[in-house]
Amino acid sequence: MKQKEIIQKMVGMNDKYTRLLWYARVGSDRQLPIVNEEGKLIDYIEQHKKEIEELYPEETQALAEENGNWQHGFHSGIVAASRYFLNLSEKWYGDKAEEVAESTFPDLDS
């Protein structure tokens, strides 16, 4: 496998687990942030949650089960590690790639 293919796989993994991280953080028992009078934010959130459930049914089900906190921690670790390695591989950071990767680890914004 070539370096470009490896990076593409890592980007895909980062995208998947960032979505699952967001999904867990916007769980059904969470108070939603500011919503306009038409409730558009709620509509978007519910629609996005459904899309993630359709894309990753096993993973979203695991978040709802007894060991859901462990599963969420696992997803967080995947996101932190993939972002670290993606930052190391970023060509536009040049000689600063390692410094950027170290200073942003673990970046778990979703």
Q: Are 97 and 87 in contact (CB under 8 A)?
A: yes
Closest CA relative to residue 81, chosen from 56, 61, 108 = 108
- Which structure tokens are listed for 85? 């390695």
Q: Could you please report the per-residue DSSP string of 19-51?
A: HHHHHHHT-TTSPP----TT-HHHHHHHHHHHH
pLDDT in tens, 45-102: 778 889 999 999 999 999 999 989 999 999 999 998 888 788 777 765 677 777 777 6
The predicted pLDDT at position 31 comes to 55
Q: Are 56 and 19 in contact (CB under 8 A)?
A: yes
